[in-house]
Amino acid sequence: MIAWFWRGLVLGFAIAAPVGPIGLLCIRRTLNQGRGSGLASGLGAASADAFYGSVAAFGLAFVADFLTAQQMALRLVGGIFLIWVGVRAARARPTVLGAASVMARPRRAQLAADFASTFLFTLTNPLTILSFTLVFAGLGLAAGSGAYSEAAGLVAGVFSGSALWWLLLSTVVGLWRRRIRPQHLHLLNVGAGAMIALFGLVILAGLLPD
């Protein structure tokens, strides 16, 4: 089981590392609201990855079938959600990053909202199940194989590796927070918001018939 955990950790880190809409959202929230907000956002994505990894590893066919059947609706919701988040980010007023604000901790309600938003958005891509199924099969752990201890170790590793990436990202970005002025933060908000909204438009464009 320990060996499978380490394999999952490497896999989870590799899956999380490419900077996409969730990465941009994590960076923006870290700069605007602090490292806790950025980490909470990343952990939401890591939890969704672990959920999909569990579906693939334990062979929960009824869950996979339901989510795959609802793929169009989930992507529609995900695309609209990203556009909404992008517009809000672009219009957000920069936070004054004084010494007190740098050390301030987001409220629990805000952290919960940050976690939930990225968790739900990551769940709007049910094809992640297929990706995990193919990877797990390549590692010799096919869904429904009955190797539950290996599956549990692999899923725990995926979550830990993904969480490790988000911890590193939010920490590194947080170290630069003191050096960023409000005008720079405004430009970052607009740029990140535009990119996030663009991701949403690309998702919606993919739903159009050929």
CA 91/CA 47 separation, integer angstroms = 29
Give percent of the chain with pLDDT exceeding 90.
10
> What is the distance between the terminal CA atoms of the chain, rounded to a whole angstrom?
46
Q: Give the per-residue pLDDT at 77.
A: 81
Query: pLDDT category, 159, cuts 50, 70, 90?
Result: very high
The set of residues, in sequence order, having a beta carbon less than 8 Å from that of 31 and lying 6+ positions away, is 173, 176, 177, 180, 185, 188
Backbone angles phi, psi at 58, to 5 degrees: -95, 5
Rounded to an integer, what distance in angstroms lies between the CA atom of residue 80 and that of residue 10?
A: 32
Across 59-68, average pLDDT: 66
What would the two tokens of residue 139 be? Answer: 């590692």
Please determine, for residue 175, whether its predicted confidence score (pLDDT) is greater than 70.
yes
The pLDDT, as a whole number, for residue 200 is 79
Q: Determine the pLDDT at residue 97.
A: 47
User: What confidence tens digit (pLDDT) does each residue in 69-121 have?
Assistant: 777 787 788 788 878 877 877 777 665 444 334 434 557 888 999 999 899 88
Token pair of 170, please? 């939010």
- Tell me how far apart the alpha carbons of residues 130 and 60 are, in angstroms, rounded to a whole number: 12
pLDDT(142) > 60: no
Mean pLDDT of the chain: 77
Residue 51: how many CB atoms within 10 A of its CB? 19
pLDDT tops 60 at residue 195: yes
In the chain, at which residue ranges do the beta strands (DSSP E only) sit? none
Residue 198 has what pLDDT?
A: 86
More confident site: 106 or 134: 134
Residue whose C-alpha is closest to residue 46's, from 64, 67, 22, 63: 22
**pTM attached to this predicted model:** 0.73
Distance CA(36)–CA(30), nearest Å, equals 7
Distance CA 156, CA 159 (A): 5
